A and B are shown apart, each in its own frame.
Chain A
Amino acid sequence: MKRNPLALIAANPLMGVFIALVIIFAISIAASPHFLTGYNMSVIARALAFVGLITIGQAMLMILGELDLSLGVIGGLCGVVAGMAMTSGGLPPIVAIPACLLLGAMLGALNGLLVSILKLHSLVLTIGTAGVFGGVNLVLTKGVAITGMPPEIQFFGRGEVYGIPVPFIIMLVVLAIAVFITAKTPFGRFMYAIGNNVAAAEMLGIKVNRIRVLVFTMAGLLAALAGLLMVARLGTAQPSIGETWVLAPIAASVIGGVATTGGVGSPLGAIFGASIIAIIENIIVLFGVSPYWQGVVSGVIVVLAISFDSASRRLIRKES
Chain B
Amino acid sequence: MTSGMNGLVPALRAIAATTTAVVLATAFPAFAQEEPGMEVKDSYRFVIIPKVVHPWFDQVNNGAMQAAQVIEAQTGSKVEIVYSAPQQADVVQQNQIIESSIATRPDGIAVDLLDASGNRASLEEAVGQEIPVTIFDSVPPEGMELTSIGNDFCEQAKLASRRLVELMEESGQVAIMMGVPSAPNHAIRAQCHEEVFAEYPNIELVATGIDNDDIETAQKQAAAIMQANPDLKGWVASDAAGPIGIGQAIQEAGKTGDVILVGLDNLPEMLQLIRDGVAESSSSTRPEMQGYWSIMAMWQQAMGIDTPKYIDTGIDFITKEDLE
Q: Are A236 and B99 in contact (CB under 8 A)?
A: no
Q: Are A288 and B87 in contact (CB under 8 A)?
A: no
CA distance in complex: A236, B88 (Å): 19
CA distance in complex: A235, B104 (Å): 25
A292 within 8 Å of B (CB atoms): yes
Interface centre among A143, A281, A282, A288 (most CB of B within 10 A): A288
Q: Are B88 and A243 in contact (CB under 8 A)?
A: yes
What's the least CB distance linking B115 to chain A, in Å?
A: 5
CB-CB under 8 A from B93, the residues of chain A are 244
Q: Are A236 and B117 in contact (CB under 8 A)?
A: yes
What's the least CB distance linking A239 to chain B, in Å?
A: 7
Q: Are B103 and A238 in contact (CB under 8 A)?
A: no
CB-CB under 8 A from A50, the residues of chain B are 92
At the interface with chain A, which of B4-12, B77-85, B260-268, B295-303? B77-85
Q: Are A144 and B82 in contact (CB under 8 A)?
A: no
- Select B84's contact among A32, A43, A143, A291, beta carbons within 8 Å: A291
Interface centre among B97, B105, B178, B181 (most CB of A within 10 A): B181
CB-CB under 8 A from A291, the residues of chain B are 53, 83-87
Q: Are B87 and A39 in contact (CB under 8 A)?
A: no
Interface centre among B105, B118, B120 (most CB of A within 10 A): B118
Which residue of chain A lies nearest to B101 when distances are taken between CB atoms in the complex? A285
- Select A158's contact among B53, B91, B105, B121, beta carbons within 8 Å: B121
Q: A144-B182, A235-B121, A236-B117 are in contact. Are A39 and B102 (CB under 8 A)?
A: yes
CA distance in complex: A285, B90 (Å): 16
What's the least CB distance linking B261 to chain A, in Å?
A: 22
Which residue of chain B lies nearest to A230 when distances are taken between CB atoms in the complex? B92
CA distance in complex: A157, B118 (Å): 12
CB-CB under 8 A from A157, the residues of chain B are 121
What's the least CB distance linking A29 to chain B, in Å?
A: 13
CA distance in complex: A241, B82 (Å): 26
Q: Are B100 and A286 in contact (CB under 8 A)?
A: yes
Q: Are A37 and B117 in contact (CB under 8 A)?
A: no
CB-CB under 8 A from A46, the residues of chain B are 99
Interface centre among A35, A43, A286, A290 (most CB of B within 10 A): A43
Q: Are A145 and B99 in contact (CB under 8 A)?
A: no
Which residue of chain B lies nearest to A231 when distances are taken between CB atoms in the complex? B118
What's the least CB distance linking A81 to chain B, in Å?
A: 17
Which residue of chain B lies nearest to A38 when distances are taken between CB atoms in the complex? B103
Q: A234-B95, A291-B84 are in contact. Are A143 and B103 (CB under 8 A)?
A: no
Q: Are B84 and A285 in contact (CB under 8 A)?
A: yes
Q: Are B96 and A286 in contact (CB under 8 A)?
A: no
CB-CB under 8 A from A233, the residues of chain B are 121
How many chain B residues have a CB neighbour from A under 8 Å?
A: 34
Q: Are B117 and A295 in contact (CB under 8 A)?
A: no
CA distance in complex: A236, B182 (Å): 11
A320 within 8 Å of B (CB atoms): no
CA distance in complex: A294, B88 (Å): 12
B225 within 8 Å of A (CB atoms): no
- Select A295's contact among B87, B96, B99, beta carbons within 8 Å: B87
CB-CB under 8 A from B96, the residues of chain A are 43, 47, 281-282, 285
* 0/1 interface trace, chain A 155-174, chain B, CB 8 Å (1 if under): 00110000000000000000
CB-CB under 8 A from A292, the residues of chain B are 53
CB-CB under 8 A from A241, the residues of chain B are 92
A40 within 8 Å of B (CB atoms): yes
Q: Are A240 and B100 in contact (CB under 8 A)?
A: no
What's the least CB distance linking A41 to chain B, in Å?
A: 9
Q: Are B210 and A143 in contact (CB under 8 A)?
A: yes
CB-CB under 8 A from A235, the residues of chain B are 117-118, 120-121
B171 within 8 Å of A (CB atoms): no
Q: Are A145 and B182 in contact (CB under 8 A)?
A: yes
Q: A145-B117, A291-B87 are in contact. Are A39 and B103 (CB under 8 A)?
A: yes
CA distance in complex: A233, B105 (Å): 22
CB-CB under 8 A from B117, the residues of chain A are 145, 147, 234-236
A262-320 contacts to B (CB < 8 Å):
281-282, 285-286, 288, 290-292, 294-295
B50-86 contacts to A (CB < 8 Å):
53, 82-86
A119 within 8 Å of B (CB atoms): no
A142 within 8 Å of B (CB atoms): yes
CA distance in complex: A233, B99 (Å): 13
A42-65 contacts to B (CB < 8 Å):
43, 46-47, 50
- Select A145's contact among B82, B118, B178, beta carbons within 8 Å: B118
CA distance in complex: A145, B182 (Å): 6
Which residue of chain A lies nearest to B182 when distances are taken between CB atoms in the complex? A145
B19 within 8 Å of A (CB atoms): no
CB-CB under 8 A from B105, the residues of chain A are 34
* 0/1 interface trace, chain B 92-132, chain A, CB 8 Å (1 if under): 11011101111111000000000101101100000001000
CB-CB under 8 A from B120, the residues of chain A are 235
Binding site for B on A (CB under 8 A): 32, 34-35, 37, 39-40, 43, 46-47, 50, 142-145, 147, 157-158, 230, 233-236, 238-241, 243-244, 281-282, 285-286, 288, 290-292, 294-295
Binding site for A on B (CB under 8 A): 53, 82-93, 95-97, 99-105, 115, 117-118, 120-121, 129, 178, 181-182, 187, 210
List 27 A–B pairs whose Cβ atoms lie within 8 Å, in order of A's numbering: A34-B105, A43-B100, A47-B99, A50-B92, A143-B182, A145-B115, A145-B118, A157-B121, A234-B92, A235-B120, A236-B118, A238-B91, A238-B92, A238-B115, A238-B118, A239-B181, A240-B89, A240-B92, A244-B90, A281-B96, A281-B100, A282-B100, A285-B97, A285-B101, A286-B104, A288-B83, A292-B53
16 extra A-B contacts, CB within 8 A, seeds A47-B99, A157-B121, A238-B91: A37-B103, A43-B100, A50-B92, A142-B181, A143-B182, A143-B210, A234-B92, A234-B117, A240-B91, A244-B93, A281-B96, A285-B97, A288-B82, A288-B83, A291-B84, A291-B85
